[in-house]
Amino acid sequence: MPAPRIWLKNPLAIFTANGLDARGGLVLENGIIDQVLAAGAQPARPCNEVFDAREHVVLPGLINTHHHFYQTLTRAWAPVVNQPLFPWLKTLYPVWARLTPEKLALASKVALTELLLSGCTTAADHHYLFPEGLEDAIDVQVGVVRELGMRAMLTRGSMSLGEADGGLPPQQTVQQGEVILADSQRLIERYHERGDGAQIQIALAPCSPFSVTTEIMRASAEMAERLDVRLHTHLAETLDEEDFCLQRFGLRTVDYLDSVGWLGPRTWLAHGIHFNADEIARLGAAGTGVCHCPSSNMRLASGICPTLDLTDAGAPLGLGVDGSASNDASNMILEARQALYLQRLRYGAAAITPERVLGWATRGSAQLLGRTEIGELAPGKQADLALFKLDELRFSGSHDPLSALLLCGADRADRVMVGGQWRVIGGQVPGLDIAQLIAHHREAARELVG
């Protein structure tokens, strides 16, 4: 039996991320967008399903390009509420070292469910903790992604520079280089999907300059080139990190990135705050991308990412929620709102529009992950969609539906589609017992902090 041909008809408003007129809606077939209809246009061929979208604002599925799923277990933990990054990490590392596969699965399910409910269809996670007993952490995450029917870029992170050798993390959280590289290759060979519509992809992600050796940075870059996968790391998040690089390597952060073979279009960086004008120009010329994490940067008082300077220089830019211990949420539509307001402080209201920020959360984020078939609404693209209603009190009196999503604080999608399949209906994930998930997750969180 042929797959249904669906007309998503006459939305209240629609953002395509590419300027196409889609006021007549979208025609979907076999998980792909077949037609984008201008106002008043009709499908070229009959559709056997029609979805009336007149009450919905339609977006491409939002794409989260930096997260730490496991951190949903340490949200709003009192000892670190008022700490900046380095002491925040030092306090949390021993807690996170007690992670188990069961706790990671719960943490990941909570993070992904929260993202999905916020209109996110693709998420990149940066998992770099592999204490004894958690060697198969990425395998655990693969199972959760498949269960929820989302797409994910799961990055095989690593920490190899412990306190004993001048790094930040405690010794029980670091691994030897040969172990990291062997597992990285195993994960790529087992799980990495290529081509349009991929559900699971793997990238290599040594954690940061202060937690990995230069050897693992270079070896990861070489493996990524050889096996054709992407590279990800934290960079230029704080001035402490900049000082660390100067003292240990005699280099600023971008010089260090270049010295280990990472300055290129295969790489995207989390945070990217403390760059000078020359470094921004070099990142742009190299095509190295940056994920802006506004909530986390504000929470830890790290600084403001120079977004427009980066994009003007040619660097791809996307958005990420960062870990749920520094956000403390996994909500992509709220993250877009935060980006709008934080970036207006730097560049002014006229330059930072809702459309620009939604573009970062969709097409820009897709570019960071090397994906060309998601993040926008056009013929041939994946049918990944987020649909929002404006029927709550917070939206009453609003006039421009697209702007209202961010300005009035939308926080939950009414419907979400991934590859032509509805994964959220009426603000709920079909078949998922949220109350039970919360109960199990809360107990795991209590156990972890001890």
pLDDT band at residue 167 using 50, 70 and 90 as cut-offs:
confident
Residue range 168-194, pLDDT digits in tens? 888 888 999 999 999 999 999 999 999
Least reliable range by pLDDT among 161-175, 238-252, 328-342, 343-357: 161-175
The pLDDT value recorded for residue 130 is: 95
Residue 289 clears pLDDT 80, i.e. is over it: yes
User: E strand or H helix at 139, and its extent?
Assistant: helix 137-148
* Number of C-beta neighbours around residue 110 at 10 A: 25
Average pLDDT along the chain:
97
Residue range 98-129, pLDDT digits in tens? 999 999 999 999 999 999 999 999 999 999 99
Q: Which of 372, 381, 366, 370 is nearest to 418 (CA)?
A: 381
Q: Considering only residues 63 and 1, tell me which one the structure prediction assigns the higher pLDDT.
A: 63
Class of domain 62-368: alpha beta
Token code pair at residue 239 = 């001035």
Bridge partner list, 262: none
DSSP state of 4: P
Q: Contact, 68 vs 324, CB < 8 A?
A: yes
Domain boundaries, the chain: 5-59+380-425, 62-368
The whole-angstrom separation of Cα 85 and Cα 326 is 9
Note the residue count of the chain: 450
pLDDT band at residue 1 using 50, 70 and 90 as cut-offs:
low
pTM over 0.95: yes
Q: What mean pLDDT is predicted for residues 1-7? A: 80
User: E strand or H helix at 302, and its extent?
Assistant: none
The whole-angstrom separation of Cα 344 and Cα 150 is 32
pLDDT band at residue 200 using 50, 70 and 90 as cut-offs:
very high
Neighbour-count burial of 356, counting CB atoms closer than 10 A to its CB (0-12 exposed, 13-18 middle, 19+ buried) = middle
Residue 2 clears pLDDT 70, i.e. is over it: no
The whole-angstrom separation of Cα 173 and Cα 158 is 9
Matching residue, tokens 């008082």: 301
Token code pair at residue 174 = 């670091």
pLDDT band at residue 292 using 50, 70 and 90 as cut-offs:
very high
pLDDT band at residue 154 using 50, 70 and 90 as cut-offs:
very high
Matching residue, tokens 């998930």: 437
The whole-angstrom separation of Cα 59 and Cα 403 is 12
Q: Contact, 34 vs 420, CB < 8 A?
A: no
Helix ranges (H only) for 228-382 are 239-249, 253-259, 277-286, 294-299, 307-313, 332-347, 354-359, 365-368
Would you state the CATH architecture of domain 5-59+380-425?
Roll (2.30)
Q: What is the DSSP string of 261-290?
A: T--STTEEEEE-----HHHHHHHHHHT-EE
Q: Which of 78, 63, 142 is nearest to 325 (CA)?
A: 78
Residue range 205-256, pLDDT digits in tens? 999 999 999 999 999 999 999 999 999 999 999 999 999 999 999 999 999 9
The whole-angstrom separation of Cα 321 and Cα 244 is 25
The whole-angstrom separation of Cα 401 and Cα 323 is 30
User: E strand or H helix at 443, and its extent?
Assistant: helix 434-449
